Amino acid sequence: MIETNRLILKPLTYNQLIKYIKCDNSLEEELNLNKTSRTISPELKEAFEQTILPNVADKTKNYLYSTLWTAISKTENKMIGDLCIVGEPNTEGEIEIGYGTYNEFQGKGYMTEIVGGIIEWAKKQQIVKAIIASTDKTNTASFKVLEKNNFIKIRETEVLLNWKLVFHT
């Protein structure tokens, strides 16, 4: 678990991920949280089926690098967004992150805080040397989160911006 000023970041277990996908508030009930109106995008559903659930179920892997970290607002006692690390560190010690804030909580600086919390956690993991992320060129809010957390733009394609934050060399 990671704590920031306004949030608690909780890595979800396999069974909690199953409840998360249902979107029936069973996860919120288990965690003693207020109900949240959230939906799962087709992309996230696909990521769950093809990557997240199989990796979290694999006992040879550290699930913290594959699961969804849900962000809980301390004041509202509600899930407000999520961050996922896309697998264990590669040979260069890089981990990749993806993230999203639920609609009603966007524009309040939560994701900047969530990414900052994961950075602080990652810095304490000896095998992690850098964090990478990709954002859609048109998603200004998403790349501002990375800029505010000192990520550097390292590559640009027609549709994507690629970012990197190095903290161990």
Which pLDDT tens digit goes with each residue over 132-145? Answer: 999 999 999 999 99
pLDDT at position 44: 83
Q: Which residues, given as ranges, of the chain have pLDDT below 50?
A: none
pLDDT tens digits, 75-96 = 999 999 999 999 999 999 999 9
Give the domain CATH number at 160: 3.40.630.30
63: DSSP letter:
G
Helices (H) and strands (E) in the chain, counts: 6, 8
- One-letter-per-residue 3-state SS of 104-123: HHCCCCHHHHHHHHHHHHHH
Domain total for the chain? 1
pLDDT at position 169: 59
Q: Which residues pair with 85 in a beta bridge?
A: 97
Q: What residue numbers bound the domain in which 7 lies?
A: 2-166
pLDDT at position 43: 82
